[in-house]
């Protein structure tokens, strides 16, 4: 049903930045709500087979989202997204960090900076997410979670990626 | 994962420089001597050789000296290892956004029912 939706994923290894551009079959207000309301975020944010559980959400500049991504065997990975700027329904910026259940951010584990933009494409919405990792360790931690949850099995076509690797 | 992290760190450092990125890109097409690699750059040879050393330490490339000629080649597995990390991140976003498609379809459906 969604095969014609635009999807671009680019990684700038030198800058430790990934940019994800994705079109969604929904009005901008609705797509914005899905990114900013706890009851909606809990229904989609964690990649499968993880689930999302919000502990605290205050979506405004200076507020934060404190949530867990939960593995099928019940292990919780706590994250915290501190909102820096909020510009409804055009975009927001935020600082992502690893934290514990009480929301205390681990200072030894630098996270990433998020810059998320929303734009109309006809009746659809284009979402552009730029994530800049503070360090190779932060990037590693983000990837490790995927490794633990079996996403590695989805790897394919690695050889095709080689020619694009150093395009920067 | 400890070994991988070390590699990732040095690979980032190695690829952070445009000269070194160009060298890796060139070696993707096949082996080359240091003088062949240096030719496109307006740079003193000792400076260029330092870039080659950084790439060797990151284990992205390996070099071999025969007589007075040093030949470099890419270690593809290590380059792919770096790429694999990004591919994992990409998988996560595909999965996450697949969930959002499902949610939007549901929300749009609810709207139509009203």
Q: What is the pLDDT of residue B2?
A: 40
Which pLDDT tens digit goes with each residue over A20-44?
999 999 999 999 999 999 999 999 9
- Between A121-125, A136-140, A162-166, B48-52, the lowest mean confidence (pLDDT) is in A162-166
pLDDT single digits (tens) B36-87: 999 999 999 999 999 999 999 988 999 999 999 999 999 988 887 777 777 7
CB-CB contact of A128 with B93 (8 Å): no
Three-state SS for B22?
Answer: helix
Q: Do B103 and A4 touch, CB atoms closer than 8 A?
A: no
Q: How far is the alpha carbon of A64 from chain B, nearest alpha carbon, in Å? A: 20
pLDDT value of residue A155: 34
Contacts of B11 in chain A (CB under 8 A): 13
Domain residues of chain A, as ranges? 7-151
Q: Residue A140 and residue B82: Cβ atoms within 8 Å?
A: no
Q: Which residues in chain B are contacts of A14 at CB distance < 8 A?
A: 12, 15-17, 21
Distance CA B40, CA B37 (A): 7
Output A40 or B4, whichever has higher pLDDT. A40
Q: A147: number of CA atoms within 13 Å, CB side?
A: 11
Q: How far apart are CA A167 and CA A158, in angstroms?
A: 16
Partner-chain contact B88 A5, CB within 8 Å: no
CB A149 within 8 A of CB A50: yes
pLDDT confidence bin for A142, thresholds 50/70/90: low
Residues of B in contact with A165 (CB under 8 A): 24, 28, 79, 82-83
Between the alpha carbon of residue B7 and those of residues A47, A147, B60, B85, the distances in Å are 26, 17, 9, 12
Closest CA to A19 of A87, A105, A112, A100: A112
Mean pLDDT lowest among A14-18, A138-142, B15-19:
A138-142
pTM of this structure = 0.71
| Among the partner residues A2, A140, A151, nearest to B5 by beta-carbon distance | A140
Q: Cα–Cα distance between A161 and B80 in angstroms, integer? A: 8
Q: How confident is the model at residue A13 (pLDDT cuts 50, 70, 90)?
A: low
Is A146 a residue whose pLDDT tops 60? no
Is the pLDDT confidence value at A11 over 90?
A: no
Pairwise CA distance, residues B74 & A57, whole Å: 48
Closest-CA residue of chain A to B60 = A166
Q: Which residues of A touch B80 (CB under 8 A)?
A: 158-159, 161-162
Residue range A108-127: mean pLDDT, rounded: 90
**Are B9 and A47 inside 8 Å of each other by CB?**
no
Work out the burial of residue A157: count CB atoms within 10 Å of its CB; fewer than 13 is exposed, 13-18 middle, 19 or more buried.
Answer: exposed
Q: What is the CATH number of domain A7-151?
A: 3.30.530.20
- Residues of chain B with Cβ-Cβ distance to A151 below 8 Å are 88, 91-92, 95
Structure tokens, A126: 């284009």
Q: Which tens digits make up the pLDDT trace of A46-82?
A: 888 889 999 999 999 999 999 999 988 898 989 999 9
Domains and CATH numbers, chain B: 2-113 (1.10.10.10)
Q: Which residues of A touch B27 (CB under 8 A)?
A: none
Asked casually if ipTM beats, i.e. exceeds, 0.85, the reply is: no
- How close, in Å, is residue B17 to chain A by CA atoms? 8
Of A2, A45, A161, the CB nearest to B83: A161
């Amino acid at each position: 049903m969604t095969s014609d939706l635009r999807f671009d994923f680019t990684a700038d290894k030198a800058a430790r930045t990934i940019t994800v551009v994705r079109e969604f079959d929904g009005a901008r207000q609705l797509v914005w709500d899905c990114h900013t309301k706890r009851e909606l975020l809990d229904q989609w944010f964690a990649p499968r087979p993880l689930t999302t559980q919000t502990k605290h959400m205050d979506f405004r500049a200076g507020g934060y989202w404190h949530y867990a991504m939960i593995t099928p065997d019940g292990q919780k990975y706590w994250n915290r997204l501190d909102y820096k700027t909020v510009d409804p329904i055009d975009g927001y910026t935020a600082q992502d960090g690893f934290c514990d259940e009480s929301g205390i951010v681990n200072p030894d584990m630098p996270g990433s900076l998020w810059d998320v933009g929303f734009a109309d494409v006809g009746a659809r919405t284009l979402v552009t997410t730029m994530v800049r990792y503070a360090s190779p360790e932060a990037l590693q931690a983000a990837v490790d979670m995927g490794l633990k949850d079996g996403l590695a099995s989805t790897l394919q076509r690695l050889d095709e990626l080689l020619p694009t690797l150093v395009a920067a | 994962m400890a070994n991988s992290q070390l590699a990732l760190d040095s690979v980032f450092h190695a690829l952070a420089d445009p000269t070194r990125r160009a060298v890796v890109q060139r070696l993707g097409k096949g082996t080359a001597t240091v003088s062949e690699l240096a030719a496109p750059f307006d740079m003193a040879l000792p400076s260029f050789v330092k870039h080659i050393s950084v790439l060797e330490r990151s284990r992205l490339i390996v070099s071999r000296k025969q007589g007075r000629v040093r030949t470099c080649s890419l270690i593809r597995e290590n380059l792919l290892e770096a790429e694999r990390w990004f591919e994992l991140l990409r998988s996560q976003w595909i999965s996450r956004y697949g969930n959002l498609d499902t949610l939007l379809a549901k929300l749009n459906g609810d709207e139509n029912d009203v």
